């Protein structure tokens, strides 16, 4: 059962006046079951505690000011207040930076204090609750000049990154599906009564006698965090022989700019020396452990921007470590390359992925000489299939995945023969599921131009779903099926698969799921929601958009991101509005999508999505008798630039060369249908 909590936090720190640096001493506040502490309730608790302690109640109070007015009454009021909080079902929470550790600056230190504290809170709550969701409301952090330091969207993203690094480091990543940081909003402790309560909890902690009394009387959740700073943590891990863990922490801190550059380079040299001094087998094992931590971080919640930087940093470091004897570390070099390939695939970086594949191809002979390496080789082959789909080489991707599926099925049939007395009659395989899923995508993309591939895609979908037992993998396959059915015009069936992916029963529940979910997997659900809304029959599409508006999903924080699949969401939102005749808003959403898809010349797959958006936009501009010239020129210019890209794969060149004749023809009614057909051939 999922239990939701509201966590109200305030920060308290100490200033060193001679150097004007603030050290984050603690972050504290109150934890309540979701919705139990409202502004009205918080005001009531404060009012009652102040009145009973004989203190004047002001509408806006700060603990420091109250303490100055009457020291003895203040502590009595705090005791009354905490007693009332406990009676109302709340708990005091304190994340104490016991050694006043400072990591780079106050902002980064604050993130570390929060991530460690929240992780320990989640661990504690999981002992009584199966699944835990936390929504944070925090006081504004102010700079020296009185300006607000916290940027909410940035902090939420960075806090999630920091949390996931913390969970991997603690070996708690398997629980990530049971832990969710739902939201992070800020307010003023001068205006919000809930945050005034949090402010009082923070200040109560500075009196040693009261602190101990509070500990014993009110059983608060008190967690010591940052017992050491980042550098001290790395040193302690190295001294304990935890080299792979230390290396992972260094990668995360360096890639996330949480270490001074000089310190980062010093530890790099230190790690290089430590690795080189290890015996061969210990060195291999330690490198493999670090790679496994990176892969865990990449594969589960898709913190791709940070993971990308970490993977690149580790690859450079690995080359330095094994420089004298790379042939002894083929498996590790291969795995690092395969992880980078998967990251390039997600970003649509065709040239980078191609170079990675060439490097992996050189390692196939030594890798295939050992049976133990076959799983890693199969994973790389599946990544190649994804790359081929990104290159519009759908036929080749389908063919290669077909051969891999045959091999994997034969292997699966052989294993039960080794144990004839067991009850195992059929084997399931995530690898086989991935191969089927990749071929399913290739078939789905081909259906845009060849509808006969639909039956093949359905067969692969059923096979892939059967192979997976992990709910996250199953959810991904349900979304693939949703897109397949949507592309075929089977809107009710597409909706059924979309509801199944989110374990909801109605469009309203589905929109509610999106409204309260900022996870990466929810972004792909949102993309499929908007795709279905854009292409469904009018009645269903209008119902979906009405619910979208009711839940205010236009304001969802996901839409502020600049990465895939947000461009799909914006594109399809624009398409729906254009279909409804709302040109200004439709074009506006298209422009937001274009800013993402056309922003990076390396991301060729995203650029092709941009071409589809431009083609569709041109068609609607013409059909509404608006000025076509500017839109047409932009499409023609972008198409020419793509076709002139050095090293453009032949499959992409031939796929889009057929566009030239349509794009270059004069503005005419006849071209509207042709432009829409071109846009439809981009299947992402």
* DSSP result, 258-303: -S-HHHHHHHHHHHHHHHHHS-HHHHHHHHHHHHHHHHHHHHTT--
Task: Quote the mean pLDDT of the chain.
Answer: 84
Query: Which of 481, 511, 518 is closest to 496 using CA atoms?
Result: 481
Rounded Cα gap, residues 305 and 289, in angstroms: 21
Task: Assign 424 a pLDDT band (cuts: 50, 70, 90).
Answer: low
Residue % of the chain over a pLDDT of 90: 43
Mapping DSSP onto H, E and C, the string for 410-432 reads HHHHHHHHHCCCCCCCCCCCHHH
Q: Does residue 147 carry a pLDDT above 50? A: no
Separation between Cα atoms, residue 637 and residue 676, nearest integer Å: 18
pLDDT of 407 over the 50 cut: yes
The 3 state secondary structure assigned to 373-404 is HHHHHHHHHHHHHHHHHHCCCHHHHHHHHHHH
Could you tell me the pLDDT band of residue 19, with boundaries at 50, 70 and 90? very low
Distance (Å, rounded) from C-alpha 530 to C-alpha 571?
Answer: 9
Query: Which whole number is the average pLDDT over 263-269?
Result: 87
Which of 37-46, 56-65, 367-376 is least confident? 56-65
Q: Is 301's pLDDT higher than 60?
A: no
Which residue carries 């009454």 as its tokens? 73
**Residue 16 predicted with pLDDT over 60:** no
Task: Give pLDDT tens digits for 204-232.
Answer: 776 666 677 777 766 667 765 554 567 77
Q: pLDDT tens digits, residue range 112-143?
A: 788 778 877 887 887 777 778 888 888 865 44
Residue in 487, 510, 488, 515 with CA at minimum distance from that of residue 499: 510
When pLDDT is cut at 50, 70 and 90, the band that residue 597 belongs to is: very high
**CB 181, CB 118: distance < 8 Å:** yes
Q: Is the pLDDT of residue 105 over 90?
A: no
Flag whether pLDDT at 438 surpasses 90. Answer: yes
Instruction: Give the dihedral sign, CA 463/468/469/475.
Output: negative
- 2-11, 165-174, 306-315, 382-391: which has the minimum mean pLDDT? 165-174
Alpha helix positions (H), 300-373: 304-321, 330-347, 350-368
Residue 171 has pLDDT above 90, yes or no: no
C-beta of residue 666 within 8 angstroms of C-beta of residue 642:
no
Q: What is the dihedral of CA 476, 477, 483, 486, to 10 degrees?
A: -130
Query: Residue 252: its pLDDT value, please?
Result: 83
Most confidently modeled of 504-518, 550-564, 580-594, 612-626? Answer: 580-594
Query: Whole-angstrom Cα distance, residue 155 to residue 172?
Result: 22
pLDDT-wise least confident of 204-213, 559-568, 647-656: 204-213
Q: What is the pLDDT of residue 190?
A: 80
- State yes or no: pLDDT of 23 exceeds 50: no
Higher pLDDT residue, 192 or 567? Answer: 567
With contact defined as beta carbons under 8 Å apart, do 671 and 631 qualify?
no
Lowest mean pLDDT among 292-306, 449-463, 569-583, 642-656: 292-306
Segment among 354-363, 439-448, 488-497, 558-567 with least mean pLDDT = 558-567
Span of 347-356, 360-369, 552-561, 604-613 with lowest mean pLDDT: 552-561
Quote the tokens at residue 383: 């990544």
Question: Among the ranges 54-58, 449-453, 479-483, 627-631, which has the highest mean pLDDT value?
Answer: 479-483
Q: Are 358 and 309 in contact (CB under 8 A)?
A: no
**Greatest mean pLDDT among 152-156, 343-347, 354-358, 517-521:** 354-358
State how far the Cα of 243 lies from the Cα of 440, in Å rounded to an integer.
Answer: 41
CA 222 to chain centre: 29
Lowest-confidence pick of 104-108, 204-208, 267-271: 104-108
- Distance separating alpha carbons of residues 210 and 214, to the nearest angstrom: 6
Alpha helices in 93-205 (DSSP H): 106-126, 152-169, 193-204
Q: Would you state the pLDDT for residue 321?
A: 83
Q: Extract the tokens encoding 119.
A: 């992780």
pLDDT at 104 over 80: no
Cβ atoms of residues 609 and 566 within 8 Å: no
The contacts of residue 637 (CB under 8 Å, 6+ apart) are none
Residue 76 predicted with pLDDT over 60: yes
Which backbone phi and psi does 21 adopt, to 5 degrees? -115, 135
DSSP 130: S
Nearest CA among 135, 80, 77, 143 for reference residue 110: 143
The Cα–Cα gap between 194 and 43 comes to 8
Asked whether the CA dihedral 99, 101, 107, 111 is positive or negative, the reply is: negative
Q: How many CB atoms lie within 10 A of CB 191?
A: 11
Q: Positive or negative CA dihedral for 24, 28, 33, 35?
A: negative
Lowest mean pLDDT among 75-89, 447-461, 503-517: 75-89
Q: What is the structure's pLDDT at 591?
A: 96
Q: Are 356 and 368 in contact (CB under 8 A)?
A: no
pLDDT of residue 439: 98
Say yes or no to pLDDT of 7 above 70: yes
Q: Nearest CA to 294 among 358, 356, 250? A: 250
CA dihedral 44, 50, 51, 54 (to 10 degrees): 180
Query: Distance (Å, rounded) from C-alpha 349 to C-alpha 391?
Result: 10
Q: What is the pLDDT of residue 628?
A: 61
How many other CB atoms sit within 10 Å of the CB of residue 282? 13
| Residue 21 · residue 15 · CB < 8 Å | yes
């Amino acid at each position: 059962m999922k239990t939701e909590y509201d966590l109200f936090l305030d920060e308290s720190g100490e200033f060193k006046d001679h150097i004007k640096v603030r050290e984050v001493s603690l972050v504290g506040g109150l934890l309540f079951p979701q919705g139990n502490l409202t502004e009205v309730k918080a005001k009531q608790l404060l009012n009652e505690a102040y009145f009973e302690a004989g203190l004047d109640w002001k509408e806006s109070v700060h603990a420091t000011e109250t303490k100055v007015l009457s020291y003895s009454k203040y502590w009595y009021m705090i005791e009354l207040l905490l007693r009332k909080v406990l009676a109302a079902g709340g708990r005091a929470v304190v994340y104490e930076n016991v050694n006043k550790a400072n990591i780079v600056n106050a902002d980064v230190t604050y993130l570390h204090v929060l991530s460690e504290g929240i992780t320990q809170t989640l661990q504690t709550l999981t002992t009584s609750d199966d699944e835990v969701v936390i929504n944070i409301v925090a006081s504004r952090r102010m700079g020296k000049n009185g300006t607000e330091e916290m940027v909410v969207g940035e902090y939420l993203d960075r806090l999630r990154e920091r949390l996931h690094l913390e969970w991997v480091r603690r070996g708690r990543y398997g629980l990530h599906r049971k832990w969710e940081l739902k939201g992070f909003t800020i307010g003023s402790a001068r205006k919000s009564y809930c945050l005034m309560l949090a402010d009082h909890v923070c200040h109560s902690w500075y009196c040693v006698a009261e602190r101990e009394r509070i500990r014993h009387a009110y059983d608060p959740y008190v967690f010591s965090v940052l017992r050491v700073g980042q550098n001290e943590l790395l040193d302690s891990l190295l001294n304990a022989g935890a080299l792979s863990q230390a290396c992972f922490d260094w990668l995360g801190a360096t890639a996330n700019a949480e270490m001074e550059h000089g310190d980062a380079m010093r530890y790099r040299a230190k790690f290089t020396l430590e690795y080189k001094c290890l015996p061969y087998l210990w060195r291999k094992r330690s490198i493999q452990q670090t790679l496994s931590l990176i892969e865990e971080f990449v594969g589960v919640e898709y913190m791709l921007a940070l993971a990308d930087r970490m993977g690149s940093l580790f690859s450079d470091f690995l080359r330095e470590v094994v420089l004298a004897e790379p042939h002894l570390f083929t498996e590790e070099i291969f795995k690092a390359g395969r992880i980078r390939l998967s990251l390039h695939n997600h970003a649509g970086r065709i040239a980078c992925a191609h170079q990675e594949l060439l490097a992996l191809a050189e390692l196939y002979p030594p890798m295939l000489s050992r049976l133990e390496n076959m799983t890693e080789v199969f994973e790389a082959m599946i990544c190649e299939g994804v790359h081929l789909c990104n290159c519009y080489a759908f036929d080749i991707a389908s063919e290669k995945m077909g051969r891999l599926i045959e091999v994997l099925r034969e292997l699966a049939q052989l294993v039960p023969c080794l144990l004839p007395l067991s009850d195992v009659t059929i084997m399931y395989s995530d690898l086989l599921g991935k191969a089927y899923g990749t071929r399913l995508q290739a078939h789905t993309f081909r259906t845009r131009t060849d509808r006969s591939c639909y039956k093949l895609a359905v067969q692969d979908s059923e096979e892939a779903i059967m192979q997976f037992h992990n709910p996250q993998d199953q959810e991904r396959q349900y979304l693939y099926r949703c897109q397949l059915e949507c592309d075929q015009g089977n809107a009710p069936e597409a909706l059924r698969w979309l509801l199944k992916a989110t374990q909801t029963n109605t469009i309203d529940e589905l929109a509610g799921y999106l409204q309260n979910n900022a996870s990466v997997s929810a972004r792909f659900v949102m993309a499929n929601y908007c795709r279905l809304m854009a292409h469904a029959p009018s009645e269903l599409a209008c119902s979906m958009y009405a619910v979208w508006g009711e839940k205010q999903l236009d304001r969802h924080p996901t839409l502020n991101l600049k990465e895939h699949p947000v461009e799909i969401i914006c594109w399809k939102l624009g398409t729906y509005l254009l279909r409804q005749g709302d040109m200004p808003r439709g074009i506006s959403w298209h422009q937001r999508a274009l800013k993402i898809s056309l922003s990076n010349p390396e991301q060729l797959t995203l650029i092709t999505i941009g071409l589809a958006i431009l083609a569709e936009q041109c068609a609607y501009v013409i059909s509404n008798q608006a000025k076509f010239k500017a839109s047409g020129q932009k499409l023609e210019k972008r198409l020419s630039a793509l076709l002139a890209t050095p090293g453009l794969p032949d499959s992409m060149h031939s796929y889009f060369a057929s566009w030239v004749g349509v794009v270059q023809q004069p503005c005419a009614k006849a071209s509207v249908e042709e432009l829409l057909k071109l846009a439809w051939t981009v299947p992402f």
